[in-house]
């Protein structure tokens, strides 16, 4: 098992917001709140139809943004990771949070998932306050963290079943839901093999199944395709999009792959040094930079990577490495022993 694997731990500590229910900071023991609003939740990961989020939820917050951050700030000691973040993710969209290493993306996401507290500012998920209504927020989320969240010593099915238990999927429904989540990511045939025999792309799809088993209204993916080959990357996105088409879930994703952001995100925010520096559709951002540079009228639109470099400036090269460095630093395949 590699150093990044988390074999033997409760899945609650391996990327499940629900499992870290009572912890307000990293490292606290998981404890699952099975409070009164712990209803069965959305029925199946792939349930089609406009009411996929459940009629109760749909009625309660129709028209509400999936995520709202206002003045969100978070510091690790002297290091300011998030510095007054303003962000709105609309219900149903695929929203890309981009930015160089250390921009604060993961920290912001961990505040949104309630894995970190919100020391300053406000975070809401479908109208629920991340500080005061933590469990309500967690029940709406599926989260694929940047670090490995699958246990190499368990089979794919066992991994997903653990998450189903943590997310309060009822015992009666559990086997069916686990099967559906595995099928949604095309892992039915490999479901009973140990995860350590999976390729990097399969591991990432397994983690996707873990996050989907609770039929989340908001799926949060922190670098879901890092280190994967182009075919595996496409496959991960195809599975995300298929589930999204079937359920209408919102997707908040971070990625260092500008081509993916361009292709799959409805809107993107470029984050740098803890704040959003640019926001729009990929087209809007490219056109905006083209106009500023005066190249748009020649039909030479900049790429999203040009936009990124324009905003992140020299700090990108000095402090963070470039995209190819990032791509080569972590290999999902090697993270499973
Ligand atoms: N647990 C921690 N303890 C101390 N500092 C941290 C911790 N986690 C993050 N930081 C710091 O907070 C800042 C933001 O880090 P964060 O991981 O949120 O960035 P990121 O945008 O997700 O980067 P990457 O693209 O590399 O994943 C960085 O300066 C980082 O060093
Ligand atoms: Mg990160």
Closest CA to ligand 1's atom 16: 104
Q: Which ligand is nearest to the CA of 82?
A: 1
Question: Pick from 121, 106, 72, 66: which is nearest to 275 by CA?
Answer: 72
CA of 104 to the centre of ligand 2 (A): 7
Please name the residues in contact with 132: beta carbons below 8 A apart, sequence gap of 6 or more: none
pTM for the predicted model, two decimal places: 0.79
CA of 104 to the centre of ligand 1 (A): 6
Q: Using CA atoms, how far apart are residues 61 and 40, in angstroms rounded to an integer? A: 18
CA of 106 to the centre of ligand 1 (A): 7
Q: Which ligand is nearest to the CA of 112?
A: 1
Average pLDDT for runs of 10 along the chain of length 337:
34 39 32 29 36 43 86 96 96 95 95 95 96 91 89 96 86 92 94 95 92 93 90 90 91 94 95 93 90 74 88 56 36 39
pLDDT digits (tens, 9 = 90+) for 5-25: 333 333 333 444 443 333 333
Phi, psi of 329 (to 5 degrees): -75, -35
Question: Pick from 189, 226, 173, 179: which is nearest to 204 by CA?
Answer: 226
Write down the pLDDT at residue 296: 63
The domains found in the chain, sorted by start residue, are 11-24+90-335 (3.40.50.300)
CB atoms within 10 A of CB 294: 8
Report the pocket of ligand 1 as residue ranges, CB < 6 Å: 76, 79, 81, 99, 101-107, 146
- Give CA separation, 31 vs 119, 159, 294, in Å: 22, 18, 56
CA of 258 to the centre of ligand 1 (A): 20
For 205-219, the DSSP string reads: HHHHHHHHTT--SEE
Write down the pLDDT at residue 61: 61
Q: Which ligand is nearest to the CA of 85?
A: 1
Write down the pLDDT at residue 126: 96
Write down the pLDDT at residue 166: 84
């Amino acid at each position: 098992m590699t150093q990044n694997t988390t074999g033997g731990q409760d899945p609650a500590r391996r990327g499940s917001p629900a499992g870290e229910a009572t912890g307000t900071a990293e490292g606290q023991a998981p404890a699952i709140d099975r409070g009164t609003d712990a209803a069965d939740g959305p029925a199946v990961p792939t349930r089609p139809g406009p009411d996929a989020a459940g009629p109760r939820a749909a009625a309660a917050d129709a028209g509400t943004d999936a995520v709202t951050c206002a003045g969100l700030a978070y510091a690790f000691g002297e290091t300011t990771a998030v510095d007054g973040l303003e962000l709105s993710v609309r219900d149903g969209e695929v929203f890309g949070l981009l930015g160089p290493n250390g921009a604060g993306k993961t920290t912001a996401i961990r505040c949104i998932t309630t894995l970190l507290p919100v020391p300053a500012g406000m975070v809401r998920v479908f109208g629920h306050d991340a500080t005061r209504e933590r469990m309500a927020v967690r029940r709406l989320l599926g989260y694929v963290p940047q670090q490995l969240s699958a246990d190499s010593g368990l089979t794919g099915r066992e991994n997903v079943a653990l998450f189903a238990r943590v997310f309060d999927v009822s015992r009666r429904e559990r086997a069916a839901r686990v099967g559906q989540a595995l099928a949604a990511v095309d892992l039915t045939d490999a479901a009973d093999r140990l995860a350590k025999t999976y390729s990097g792309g399969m591991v990432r799809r397994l983690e996707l199944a873990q996050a989907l088993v609770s039929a989340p209204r908001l799926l949060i993916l922190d670098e879901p395709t890092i280190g994967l080959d182009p075919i595996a990357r496409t496959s991960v996105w195809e599975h995300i999009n298929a589930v999204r088409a079937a359920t209408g879930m919102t997707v908040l994703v971070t990625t260092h792959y500008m081509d993916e952001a361009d292709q799959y995100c409805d809107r993107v925010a470029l984050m740098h040094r803890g704040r959003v520096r640019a926001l729009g559709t990929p087209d809007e951002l490219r056109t905006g930079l083209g106009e500023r540079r005066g190249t748009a009228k020649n039909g030479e639109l900049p790429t999203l990577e040009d936009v990124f470099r324009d905003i992140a400036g020299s700090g990108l090269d000095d402090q963070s490495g470039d995209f190819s460095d990032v791509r080569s630093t972590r290999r999902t395949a090697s993270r499973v022993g």
